Amino acid sequence: MRRIEIYDTTLRDGAQGEGVSFSAYDKLLLTRRLNELGFDYIEGGYPASNDKDFEYFQKVAQIPLDRSTVVAFGMTRRKGLDVAQDSGIKSLLEAGTKVVTIVGKASAFQAEQVLRTTREENLAMITDTISYIRSQGREVIFDAEHFFDGYKYDSDYALTAVRLAAEAGAKMVVLCDTNGGSMPEEVAEITRKVVELLPVPVGIHCHNDCDVAVANSLAAVDAGASQVQGTINGFGERCGNADLISVIANLRLKKGYEVLTPDALRHLTALSRFVYEMVNMPYRNNQPYVGRSAFAHKGGMHVSGVSRVPQSYEHIDPQLVGNERRILVSELSGRSNIMAATAKLNIQADPKLLERILAKVVAREHAGYQYEAAQGSFDLLVKQCLGTFKPHFERLAYRVNIETESDGRIVTEATVKIRVGNEIRHEVAEGDGPVNALDAAMRKALNGTFPNLAKMHLVDYKVRVINSEAGTAAGVRVMIESRDETDSWGTVGVSENIIEASWIALADSYEYKLCKDEEREQQAREKVENVGASRER
Amino acid sequence: MRRIEIYDTTLRDGAQGEGVSFSAYDKLLLTRRLNELGFDYIEGGYPASNDKDFEYFQKVAQIPLDRSTVVAFGMTRRKGLDVAQDSGIKSLLEAGTKVVTIVGKASAFQAEQVLRTTREENLAMITDTISYIRSQGREVIFDAEHFFDGYKYDSDYALTAVRLAAEAGAKMVVLCDTNGGSMPEEVAEITRKVVELLPVPVGIHCHNDCDVAVANSLAAVDAGASQVQGTINGFGERCGNADLISVIANLRLKKGYEVLTPDALRHLTALSRFVYEMVNMPYRNNQPYVGRSAFAHKGGMHVSGVSRVPQSYEHIDPQLVGNERRILVSELSGRSNIMAATAKLNIQADPKLLERILAKVVAREHAGYQYEAAQGSFDLLVKQCLGTFKPHFERLAYRVNIETESDGRIVTEATVKIRVGNEIRHEVAEGDGPVNALDAAMRKALNGTFPNLAKMHLVDYKVRVINSEAGTAAGVRVMIESRDETDSWGTVGVSENIIEASWIALADSYEYKLCKDEEREQQAREKVENVGASRER
């Protein structure tokens, strides 16, 4: 089966997405990572548009990259200007990359109405630019902007544009669905025509404005394209570019094409999350293949099926892409869900125990608790039922005070009194709000004994009013998400009082972290002992 | 062009998504909304699985729905059991809907390995169930579960299953890509075969595990399917169902099929956001068609292009789906949205005023405010810009104290000091929580002067953390929904401190009520005067 090149433009097109921005350092980190996984091209930046990119291109030239080729991106020369005088082209060449990608308009409508030039001048802009860059000893990939719309508007002109680009020395022509408005069957048909016409390979670059960018990319490949351009997690302008994670997994696992390195797929989940962390954006839980919910089962029928026969509700083995199965405990739960969730915790499936856990979960859920996004609290609940939970601290009292100062400022102060072992810790802290102040005071009280708590931080919290007909007297459910260097976990608290509900969720988040770290240490110790024991043998 | 039926399963399949859950009240609200827009079927619930659904089905029977048919969902009878004895079937019929959807396995693998029964028994389960339900005077839609995988495993068996279902009386057969692992060309080819074979219409039900659920749904329709099942915003198990928003927009705008009511598309954006608010989940900004970023332009080239020639970077006019263009680097953002919102308030469209309002909204939105579900706060903001807002009270100070008692109980006390006219009111109140206590203290302070406040009460509040990377120090946005005998209105407050954010939203809710009542009185007086004046004439 054919090898399909993967061209990553996360660092350029992806950076045009709202809220996305990369430092030069970020770009270098991601470049290394993509190189390890065998991405064929990395479009590192747009020198004419972004000064910061110059630093990136200088530094990346010094990194040994054995698999990926770094590419600089730029536009065709300006209309009416001599290419050698165009400052944008100068910056592009100064970036010093062996390969350069040039974008030019392949649509007569765009040339005349948007660029406000003649059809002929637009073609000259394309051929002049490519020839010039070739004369400077570089290779050129040509991005045919608005290709599909241009083809529908005037197919001869669009085909002429790409033909001339190839003749001027472009080593590949990439068909761009720039406005993202094309349907898969159109992309397939038009791509096929171009593949038949051109003597150079053809690539595809789709945008997700109609929710079919991945399907469009696959259709183009089946029609003969040999390169797909996109971004990790589908970042990009408007609705984003084609999500390379889905493209890669589909090309290999569904269609049998060769992509990246043989081992790369197992690293997709980690790569996806790495990029989210880098841009400080939350994971998309229902993201195909790599989302936290991608293999999470909730409906009772699904859970009982998948526990016995994974193919019953999973289209692939999650481990192929570095992901894992999760069983969600919820109001649709029954016995199978509890069994499966507890199986993860490596406890015996004792029926009486399961009944006890089930009864507790049902009671808590009636009170407003929800464990689906609160695996941390669920784990602690199971330990309590098992009788193996040893709390690390005991709450004695707390107080939170929020008041306005005479200048209108808000001051929030929390005090906590807890018992840790034989000692009573009594601490006070200020914060931006009540939960922040409580958290700060608790850490003061706990950090001395449990320094590992410094490695965890709270990343999100949600409040949901339950039985809201009671207005402000209704109960609230607070969900907190915490993270350390390796994991993330959710905890939950319910009360009429939002501060009390937050306390419960916070306390669970610390306990989960402390229990988790102790179990890891215990396992590490046992491993050492086992190794020692086998050596002796 | 053909009319394609839209079958919404947000309330059933969508509810199987992680973190998604609907009260019976929520379900009724959404049902009305979908009916207004002309959704053909609404799968309201799964009676055998969820007790809460019974309440929904009872109440929905009393709502006059002129466009949508509400459907109850259930499984085929259990293996080896007489259909009339099956409790799941009983619950299904007790829901009382004219139409029922039955899901049954169309895959020999699933029948033998997962259900652990014989191929023949599985077919009998399908035909017995459908015949029985028909004999009870109901109509049946048959969901052929695992159809595409089943067809690839043993095509004869899969085709037999759906043929027998039609013969047993199913008025439609829906092909389900239950594991979400199929590619568009497979779905097209297989759907075409089924459409040729069956004497009844065929529907399609896709899951998004490969990021192509929308493309799969469109491919099936082009191959002859006449119904698409999915959920609003693509909620659902694992990676979700096909996103009906994208499906609807693509069917109409890209392929020219008839869907919903002629006017429905303009309401898609509002519908999408309504559902996110209902489940208290954040909007997906880069969601195709309706996302806040779907028509947001950031790159300079894009901005200048699209301002002059919208088709340069937009595949459709955003207003067709009720969305708007946003320019992320210019003061032109949101103009059309502001104009539409202020048009509602019957004020003159004075350009300078609009600029002032726009500037204020933009600044507030940067700070985290969102007015989409907070028309009350927006109205007050407009009055402030108009210079017509006269506050009814002035905050001088407040204090909220939450502490644990020695018996573990939580006590919450709030004091407020406000100026009303020439007087200073200083009151204290207890509450179940901080917001409840503040509300109680404020009412003590205001009720003497404004007895009409007793007619309003708060019915819901939602808290969303903004810039959640900062953990517990992040800002919070509090949305409050208030109601009196005739209206309901939303107000919003943003602060690092959840109490302060709640205060702002609360204060707005009182002010809105007081302004509204005064305007009504004013209009009533003017009416009387006019009548008096005409009598005199």
The residues of chain B that CATH labels 3.30.160.270 are 393-525
pLDDT of residue A343: 62
The answer to whether A142 and A173 have CB atoms below 8 angstroms apart is: yes
pLDDT of residue B35: 97
> For A497, which residue in chain B has the nearest alpha carbon?
B433
User: How far is Cα A394 from Cα A457, in angstroms, rounded to an integer?
Assistant: 21
Residue A207 DSSP symbol: B
Q: How far is B121 from chain A (nearest CA, A)?
A: 18
pLDDT range class, residue B529, cuts 50, 70, 90: confident
Check CB contact of B211 with chain A, cutoff 8 Å.
Answer: yes
Complex ipTM value? 0.77
pLDDT range class, residue B333, cuts 50, 70, 90: very low
pLDDT of residue A52: 73
| 3-state secondary structure at position B361 | helix
The residues of chain B that CATH labels 3.20.20.70 are 5-261
Residue A317 DSSP symbol: -
Work out whether strand A227-230 and strand A5-8 pair parallel, antiparallel, or are unpaired: parallel
Fold that domain B5-261 belongs to in CATH:
TIM Barrel (3.20.20)
Average confidence (pLDDT) over B202-220: 98
Q: Which residue has the higher pLDDT, B314 or A232?
A: A232
Check CB contact of B460 with chain A, cutoff 8 Å.
Answer: yes
Among B141, B126, B462, smallest CA distance to B280 is for: B462
pLDDT range class, residue B372, cuts 50, 70, 90: low
Question: Does the pLDDT at position A80 exceed 80?
Answer: yes
Q: A211–B473: do the CB atoms touch at under 8 Å?
A: no
> For B311, which residue in chain A has the nearest alpha carbon?
A179
Identify all chain B residues contacting A17, using CB atoms and an 8 Å cutoff: 286, 293, 298
Q: What is the number of CB-based contacts under 8 A between chain A and chain B? A: 336
Question: Does the pLDDT at position A308 exceed 80?
Answer: no
Nearest CB partner across the interface for A472, out of B296, B458, B476: B458
Whether the predicted model's global pTM rises above the 0.80 cut: no
Identify all chain B residues contacting A238, using CB atoms and an 8 Å cutoff: 286, 293-297, 313
pLDDT range class, residue B334, cuts 50, 70, 90: very low
Q: Give one DSSP letter per residue of B124-135, joined into a string.
A: HHHHHHHHHHHH
Question: What's the half-sphere exposure (Cβ side, CA atoms, 13 Å) at A377?
Answer: 30
Q: Give the rounded distance of the alpha carbon of A287 from its chain centre.
A: 8
pLDDT of residue A470: 46
Q: B498–A291: do the CB atoms touch at under 8 Å?
A: no
Identify all chain B residues contacting A308, using CB atoms and an 8 Å cutoff: 114
Average confidence (pLDDT) over A188-193: 98
Q: How far is B221 from chain A (nearest CA, A)?
A: 13
pLDDT range class, residue A59, cuts 50, 70, 90: very high
Identify all chain B residues contacting A206, using CB atoms and an 8 Å cutoff: none
Identify all chain A residues contacting B280, using CB atoms and an 8 Å cutoff: 462, 464
Q: Output the furthest CA–CA distance in chain A (Å, rounded).
A: 86
pLDDT range class, residue B272, cuts 50, 70, 90: very high
Average confidence (pLDDT) over A363-380: 81
pLDDT range class, residue B331, cuts 50, 70, 90: very low
pLDDT of residue B332: 34
Question: Does the pLDDT at position A512 exceed 70?
Answer: yes
Q: A401–B398: do the CB atoms touch at under 8 Å?
A: no
Poorest-confidence range of A53-62, A251-260, A288-297, B320-329?
B320-329
| 3-state secondary structure at position B285 | coil
pLDDT of residue B329: 37
Poorest-confidence range of A294-298, B32-36, B254-258?
A294-298
Question: Does the pLDDT at position B469 exceed 50?
Answer: no
Identify all chain B residues contacting A498, using CB atoms and an 8 Å cutoff: 433-435, 498
Residues composing chain A = 537
Average confidence (pLDDT) over B52-65: 92
> For A288, which residue in chain B has the nearest alpha carbon?
B209
Question: Does the pLDDT at position B170 exceed 70?
Answer: yes
Average confidence (pLDDT) over B75-91: 95
Q: Which CATH number fits domain B393-525: 3.90.1150.200, 3.30.160.270, 3.40.50.300, 1.10.10.10?
A: 3.30.160.270
- What does each C-alpha distance from A524 to A527, A530, A531, B337 come to in angstroms? 5, 10, 11, 59
Q: B496–A295: do the CB atoms touch at under 8 Å?
A: no
Q: B497–A410: do the CB atoms touch at under 8 Å?
A: yes
pLDDT for A449-500, tens place per residue? 999 999 998 877 777 777 544 445 568 888 888 888 878 888 999 998 999 9
Residues 307-346 in B contacting A (C-alpha not used; CB under 8 Å): 308-309, 311-316, 328
Choosing among A316, A402, A417, which should be mutated to test the B contact, i.e. which has the most B CBs within 10 A? A402
Tokens 């700070």 locate to B367
pLDDT for A327-354, tens place per residue? 666 544 455 556 666 666 655 557 777 7
The answer to whether B421 and B429 have CB atoms below 8 angstroms apart is: no
Mean pLDDT of chain A: 89
Q: What is the 3-state secondary structure (H, E, C) of A412-437?
A: EEEEEEEEECCEEEEEEEEECCHHHH
Mean pLDDT of chain B: 89
